[in-house]
């Protein structure tokens, strides 16, 4: 009966979350609400990103009667959208964001911590290249109702209860995990809904794509150079958008490895552990792949600062294991 009345176009994100919640004994509905808040904010951000090229035109049109918000940069705007949606939703007690030096307290009665990069790769917006949002959800350690503490916001990746990303690309997609596999949804603009398009994503165990900024090769340590050479000996394809979510998403679906290594100039690489590496590591592991800093599993790194960086080798199981054989992070 239920399946017969289901919309012919497929399963919406809301329906999917609701069904999952019913299947998942301990879910209280709060995590589901959080995911819905994030999805809603992403729709607003999607609208703004898709109008990026029109900003100057619309900006001058609206300059007379706006409060100036149109003039804000998109990454700042995206941060505001997510922060507001989470504050209104009430389930989150704190937000860790790439955009803020410290964490933002949201709602003391909330049980969850959100870590987010609201708009990653924003330097790509000016040239109409895909950008993304990356997020991670933790349960707070301190008592509900009390002030948020460092131990709440600095948790290891293994403590994540959910993680995901939104890719604002040719189509906009939301991909997430709650620790029971990975599912992908594609946004249908005219209906304003995400629909399940990639159920139970598994990353191929092998792949033929390597993604690394080879322009920095003079700064690579020898094991990284050796690994890149190995990729070339295999005649792998080099693919690098320079937008983490886009590079990650392609490799997740097609099989491959994404590397942002430690370099002679950047001892810990470039990417941030808490809201870039950890969420993507969780998704990758849930899809059957692997994520390491070269020596250690990403999700087991003890974070000591909100914005700390980590080298990242993430993707297909065999490709990442090969990278670890070579002990790439050794300096
Ligand atoms: P950002 O946070 O300043 O946007 O930088 C993050 C981006 C990632 O999207 C991307 O993977 C990486 O920086 C690319 O760095 P590089 O230009 O050094 O290759
Ligand atoms: Mg970023």
Distance of CA 8 to the CA centre of its chain: 30
Of 125, 109, 130, 116, whose CA–CA distance to 82 is shortest? 116
Query: Which tokens sit at 306?
Result: 């909100």
What SS3 class is residue 297? strand
CB atoms within 10 A of CB 173: 21
Per-residue pLDDT of the chain (331 residues; tens, 9 = 90+): 444 444 446 899 999 998 876 666 556 688 999 999 999 999 999 999 998 888 766 655 555 544 444 456 899 999 999 999 999 999 999 999 999 999 999 999 999 999 999 999 988 888 999 999 999 999 999 999 999 999 999 999 999 999 999 999 999 999 999 999 999 999 999 999 999 999 999 999 999 999 999 999 999 999 999 999 999 999 999 999 999 999 999 999 999 999 999 999 999 999 999 999 999 999 999 999 999 999 999 999 999 999 999 999 999 999 999 999 866 545 4
Give yes or no for residue 75 CB within 6 A of ligand 1: no
- Helix residue spans in 51-183 (DSSP H): 55-62, 74-89, 150-153
pLDDT at residue 5, as a whole number: 47
Query: Which residues 6+ apart lie within 8 Å of 187 measured at CB?
Result: 43, 46, 171, 172, 173, 174, 193, 194, 195
Strand order in the sheet with 290-292: 237-238, 209-211, 257-260, 312-315, 290-292
Of 115, 116, 107, 133, whose CA–CA distance to 49 is shortest? 133
Give yes or no for residue 121 CB within 6 A of ligand 1: yes
Q: Could you tell me the sign of the dihedral formed by the alpha carbons of 295, 261, 230, 248, in that order?
A: positive
Give yes or no for residue 251 CB within 6 A of ligand 1: no
pLDDT at residue 42, as a whole number: 98
Residue 174 in contact with residue 194, Cβ under 8 Å? yes
Q: Measured from the CA of 120, which atom of ligand 1 is nearest?
A: 4
Full-model pTM: 0.92
CB atoms within 10 A of CB 304: 9
Task: Give the closest residue (by CA) to ligand 1 atom 14.
Answer: 242
Strand partners, 132: 120, 167
pLDDT at residue 8, as a whole number: 47
Query: Which tokens sit at 41?
Result: 């904010």
Give yes or no for residue 217 CB within 6 A of ligand 1: no
pLDDT at residue 116, as a whole number: 98
Span between the terminal Cα atoms of the chain, in Å: 61
- Quickly list DSSP for 26-51: T--SHHHHHHHHHHHHHHHHHHHHHT
Task: Tell me the ipTM for this assembly.
Answer: 0.95
Give yes or no for residue 290 CB within 6 A of ligand 1: no
pLDDT at residue 328, as a whole number: 55
Residue indicated by tokens 């999700």: 299
- What phi and psi values does residue 219 have, to the nearest 5 degrees? -95, 0
pLDDT at residue 53, as a whole number: 81
pLDDT at residue 26, as a whole number: 55
What SS3 class is residue 282? helix
- Quickly list DSSP for 156-222: -GGGEEEEEEEEESSSEEEEEESSS-EEEEEEETTTTEEEEEE-S----SS-SEEE--GGGGGGB-H
Give the number of the ligand closest to the Cα of residue 123. 1
Q: How far is the CA of 140 from the centre of ligand 1 (A)?
A: 29
């Amino acid at each position: 009966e239920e399946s017969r009345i289901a919309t012919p176009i497929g399963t919406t994100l809301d329906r999917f979350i609701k069904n999952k919640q019913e299947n998942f004994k301990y879910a209280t509905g709060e995590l589901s609400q959080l995911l819905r808040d994030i999805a809603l904010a992403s729709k607003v951000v999607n609208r703004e990103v898709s109008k990026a090229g029109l900003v100057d035109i619309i900006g001058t049109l609206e300059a007379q009667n706006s409060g100036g918000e149109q003039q804000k940069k998109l990454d700042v705007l995206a941060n505001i959208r997510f922060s507001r949606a989470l504050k209104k939703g009430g389930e989150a007690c704190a937000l860790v964001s790439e955009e803020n030096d410290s964490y933002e307290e949201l709602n003391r009665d909330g049980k969850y911590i959100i870590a987010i990069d609201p708009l990653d790769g924003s330097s790509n917006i000016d040239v109409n290249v895909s950008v993304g949002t990356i997020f991670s959800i933790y349960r707070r350690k301190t008592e509900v109702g009390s002030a948020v503490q460092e131990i709440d916001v600095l948790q290891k990746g293994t403590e994540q209860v959910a993680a995901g990303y939104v890719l604002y690309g040719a189509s906009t997609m939301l991909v997430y995990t709650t620790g029971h596999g990975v599912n992908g949804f594609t946004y249908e603009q005219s209906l304003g809904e995400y629909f399940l398009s990639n159920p139970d994503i598994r990353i191929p165990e092998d792949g033929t794509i390597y993604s690394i900024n080879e322009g920095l090769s003079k700064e690579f340590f020898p094991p990284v150079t050796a690994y890149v050479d190995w990729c070339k000996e295999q005649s792998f394809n080099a693919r690098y958008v320079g937008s983490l979510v886009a590079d990650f998403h392609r490799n997740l679906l097609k099989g491959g490895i994404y590397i942002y290594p430690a370099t002679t100039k950047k001892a810990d690489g470039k990417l941030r552990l808490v809201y870039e590496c950890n969420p993507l590591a969780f998704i990758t592991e849930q899809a059957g792949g692997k994520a390491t800093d070269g020596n250690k599993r990403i999700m087991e790194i003890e974070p000591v600062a909100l914005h700390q960086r980590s080298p990242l080798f993430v993707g297909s199981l065999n490709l990442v294991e090969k990278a670890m054989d070579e002990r790439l992070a050794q300096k």
